[in-house]
A and B are shown apart, each in its own frame.
Chain A
Amino acid sequence: MSRLEPATAVGWARVNLFADRRDTVITFVTGALVVVLGFRLLRFVFVTGRWDIVRVNLGLYLYGRYPRDQLWRVVVAVIVVAFVGGALAGIIARRRDAAARAAGTPTDDRRLGTRLRDLAVRVWPLLLLVVVLLALTSTITPTLVALAMLAAVAVGRVLGAAWPRRVDVVFFVLPVLLPFVLLPFLTGPLGWDKWGGLMLTLLLAAVSMLASFPLGLLLALGRRSALPAIRTIAVGFIEFFRGVPLVVLVLMSDQALGFFFPQSMLPGKVVRAMVVFTIFTAAYVAEIVRGGLQSVPRGQGEAAQALGMAPWRVMGWIVLPQALRNVIPALVGQFISLFKDTTLVFVIGLLDPLTVADAVTKQRDFELSNFAESLIFAALLFWVGSYTMSRESQRLERRLGVGTR
C-alpha cells in the first residue's frame, strides 16, 4: 500500500483512490454521488430555485420592521464600526511589528497585494454573503454602502498603523464605550422592539456575549471563593439556569415576569430577551471558565504568590490569562450556540430571520411555496456568522499559542 509513487496527480490518485479493486469501486460510487448531488444543488441554486421570495423580502430578513426612513442610522453605525475595526487592525499590526523588531524575530513583510488576498481568504464567508446580498438587490444604494464600509475599513487600517502610540489607548477603550453610544443611536426614538431580522440576531448575540463573559467570569470566581455565602449564591445561580430549558426562560421573560412586577416597570421584549440570553450563557461560561482555572497547574499560582503578589494580581496576571487561553474553543462554541439560539425569540413574537423565513411564505404572492429557498437563505445568514466566529477563534488560538510547550 505504501509504495512510493512519483509526486504527480496520477501517482497520488493511484495510491489514494485506486489502490485495489475495493478502493476503485468505493471511489466510483462516492464520486458518482458527489457529482449527482452537486449538480442538483447547483441546478437548484441557479436554475430551478425561485429566489423572488428572498429578493422581495430582503429587508425583512435583514432588519425586520425597522422603519425604512430610519435606515440611515444603521448605515452610519455600520460605517463607524467598520472604521474602528480597521483602526484596531492597524494598531495591532503596528504593535506586533514593533514587538517583532524588539525581539529580533521576522516582521510581517507581505506585499499589499498578498495582504489583501490573505484577508479575502480569511473572511471569505463574509465576502460570499456580501456578494449574495448585492446580487439580490436591485438598487445601487446597498452597493454604495458596501463600498463605503470597505473604504472605512481601509482608512481606519492606514490611520491606525500610522498614528503615534499614545493615541492607541483611545481605541482600546472605544470598543467598550461604543455600544453605549451606538445602541441608543440606532434605537433612536423607536424603542428596541422595532428591531428585527438579522439586526435583531446580531444585537441579541453581541450584547449577550459581551455581558455574559464578565458575569460568567465572576460566577466562576465566586464558585471557587472561600466565602460560603458567595459560593452558595454562585452555585445556585449556575445550577438553576443550566437546569432550565432556554425556551422556558425566554417564554417566562415575556409571560411570567408580569406576575411579579407591574408591566409599566418592565423593559421591552428585546431587552428582556437580552437579559435572559445573558444570564443563561453566563451560567455556561462560568463552568467553562472554572474548567480553565482548574487546567492551570498549581505551581503557577504558587510561583506568583512566592514573589509576593497579592491574590487578585495572581489571578489577573498569571492564572486567568492561561485559563482563558485554554478555554477559547469551548467559549467560542458557547457563543456560536448562543448566536443560533437567539432564533428562540420567535416564541415571544419577535421577528428574527427564521421567523421571517417562515412568515414570508404565507404572503399571498407565494402561498406556502418557496419554503426551501426562504429557509436556505436564513440558514446562510446564520452559517456565515457561526463559521466566521469559528475561524477567528482558531486563528486566535494559533496566535496565543506562541511560545508555549
Chain B
Amino acid sequence: MSTTGVNSDATQVGGTGAVMIELEGVDKFFGDFQALSNINLRVGVQEVVVVCGPSGSGKSTMIRCINRLEQHDRGRIVIDGTELSDDVRNIQAVRRETGMVFQSFNLFPHLTVIDNITLAPRQVRKLPRAEAEARAHELLERVKIPEQAEKYPGQLSGGQQQRVAIARALAMQPKVMLFDEPTSALDPEMIGEVLEAMRQLANDGMTMIVVTHEMGFAREVADRVLFMADGEVVEVGTAEHFFTDPREERTKLFLSQIL
C-alpha cells in the first residue's frame, strides 16, 4: 500500500516517521451505542492529521479518548510510549503532554487571561510564578493578543478567547495538540485569526490532530485527512488525494455537502 493513495489504512505515519500516537483496535460504547469501532490510527511526530466527517461519526469521541476525557472500552492507546490504562499517573502523564482546544473554548471565567494560562504550569509543572508569567506573555505574543493579559475571558471576543485557549494549552509545552472543532463556535470573521494561529503552530512542527470542517485549512496544512462515519475510519489519504480522488461513496457524499 502506498502512502499517497486514498485507502482505509490509517496506520501509515507521516511526519518524521517516528510514531507519536497509536490507536489499535479501539472500541468505545455509550450504553448500547457503539461510538467507535475498531479504530486503528498512527500519527507521526510533527504530523498534522485533520479528521472530518458528519456529526455523530465519532471524531470528537476519538480525540477525547486520546487524552482520557472518555475511556475506551477495548483496544490500546499509546501516546509517546505511554499506554493509557486505569493507572491515574499514566493518565496524568499523558494529559501533561497533550494539549487540548475545545469547541466552546472552556476558558476559566473567574480567572484573568494570564491566570488562565499560568495556572496549570504553576500547579502541575511547579514553575515559579515569574517564569510562568514570562512564558505566558511570550505565548500571548505568539497568538497576537499580548495586550489582553489582565482581562477576564468574558471581556474578549470569541476569536480572542480561542487564541487564549491555544496559548493555555501550549503553556504546558505539550508534545501533541488536539483540536476539537476549534472554529465551529466562532463568528465567520473570527475564524481566520484562529486558523492562522494553528497554521503557525503546524509550521513550527507541532504534532496535531484537528477535528474540523475547514477544508481550506485541511488542504493547506494537513499531512493526512481522515474521514470518519458511524464510528469507523472510512477513508484516509493525503490532502491532495483525499479531495480530488475519494474512493468511498460516503466520502464523496460528505465532500459534496460541505465543499
Contact = CB atoms under 8 A, between A and B. Distances in A.
B152 to A, nearest CB: 3
B155 interface: yes
Nearest to A99: B150
Interface stretch (B25-33, B37-45, B105-113, B239-247): B105-113
A322 B108 CA distance: 9
B67 interface: yes
Identify whether the interface residues of A are mostly helix, strand, loop, or mixed. helix
A403 B168 contact: no
B92 A308 contact: yes
A299 B150 CA distance: 23
Contacts of B55: none
Contacts of A321: 110
Interface stretch (A189-197, A275-283, A309-317, A361-369): A309-317
A361 B112 CA distance: 58
Contacts of A405: 109, 154
Contact of B102 (A105, A303, A310): A303
Interface in B162-176: 165, 168-169, 172
* Range for the number of chain B residues in contact with chain A: 20 to 34
A322 B111 CA distance: 10
A277 to B, nearest CB: 31
Contact of A307 (B93, B104, B110, B168): B168
B106 A308 contact: no
A309 B152 contact: no
A306 B108 CA distance: 13
Contacts of A313: 123-124
A320 B95 CA distance: 22
Contacts of B109: 322, 403-405
A135 interface: no
A300 B108 contact: yes
Given A307-B169, A308-B120, A322-B110, A403 B95 contact: no
A1 B123 CA distance: 61
Interface in A287-312: 297, 299-300, 302-310
A318 B93 CA distance: 20
A317 B155 CA distance: 21
B69 A305 contact: yes
Contacts of B69: 302, 305-306
A132 B107 CA distance: 50
B120 A300 contact: no
Interface string A378-405: 0000000000000000000000101111
A306 B100 contact: yes
Nearest to A313: B123
Interface string B116-132: 00011001100000000
A325 B110 contact: yes
Contacts of B123: 309, 313, 317
B251 interface: no
Nearest to B70: A302
A402 B152 contact: yes
A154 to B, nearest CB: 32
B237 interface: no
Given A302-B69, A307-B120, A317-B123, A104 B150 contact: yes
A307 B102 CA distance: 12
Given A104-B150, A306-B69, A307-B168, A404 B110 contact: yes
30 contacts: A102-B150, A103-B112, A103-B151, A297-B104, A302-B102, A303-B102, A303-B107, A306-B95, A306-B100, A307-B95, A307-B168, A307-B169, A307-B172, A308-B93, A308-B96, A308-B120, A309-B123, A309-B124, A310-B92, A313-B124, A317-B119, A318-B108, A322-B108, A325-B110, A402-B152, A403-B109, A403-B151, A403-B153, A403-B154, A404-B110
